[in-house]
Chain A
Amino acid sequence: SQQGEEDPQALSIQEGENATMNCSYKTSINNLQWYRQNSGRGLVHLILIRSNEREKHSGRLRVTLDTSKKSSSLLITASRAADTASYFCATDAFTDKLIFGTGTRLQVFP
């Protein structure tokens, strides 16, 4: 399968703590995008990082990309209960055909 892997599959933390999720993929990419999905809802776009970028920030989010290891990480700092959701990475190769990871379920306890 071309599907990427995410690690951990599930993560439980307290509010205020940082959450780190990792994503590995298998093929050469153009972009890597991170999405959040609340239960039963659509995907919310969080951040896009291009293959020639190594790190990107957006508010409390920090994404890194290591193309030599075919991996990325998403760090959410100072987590809130509202961050409880599933997080997916997705890669593309110059088209809109995204290959998704398996997702990380994040639970943030108040």
Chain B
Amino acid sequence: KAGVTQTPRYLIKTRGQQVTLSCSPISGHRSVSWYQQTPGQGLQFLFEYFSETQRNKGNFPGRFSGRQFSNSRSEMNVSTLELGDSALYLCASSLDGGGNTIYFGEGSWLTVV
């Protein structure tokens, strides 16, 4: 069965622009979460969605937002990009977000110039 799929894999944006990243969870998984990975801060939780509702949110500014569709696919958006937003953005999915194994995608590399 296909794993967690993220698109695009690599992208370069300019400061002030906005970006949308997409994630397709493993078939049958209803919980999708997003993480940011940087050399300085490590892996940090952004938010979690379950049944189209945001269930948990990390400590990121409001420029970071997300949503989940009825088919469990998810998108995250970052507006007014800053240089510090350059990172690997990882999407993860699990069956129901209730303490099951969490599987990650390959990530989307975002570079802000």
A and B co-occur in one complex: yes
Chain A residues with CB under 8 Å of chain B are 3, 30-31, 33, 35, 40-45, 48, 50, 88, 90, 92, 94-100, 102-103
Q: Which range contains the number of B residues in contact with the other chain?
A: 20 to 34
Mark contacts of B37-53 with chain A using CB atoms, 8 A cut-off: 1 yes-contact digit, 0 otherwise.
Answer: 00000111100101000
- Are A98 and B42 in touch, CB under 8 angstroms? no
- Are B43 and A100 in touch, CB under 8 angstroms? yes
- Are A98 and B101 in touch, CB under 8 angstroms? no
- Are B99 and A30 in touch, CB under 8 angstroms? yes
- Are B45 and A98 in touch, CB under 8 angstroms? yes
- Are A35 and B45 in touch, CB under 8 angstroms? no
CA distance A58 to B107 in the complex (A): 26
Distance to closest chain B CB from A63 (angstroms):
13
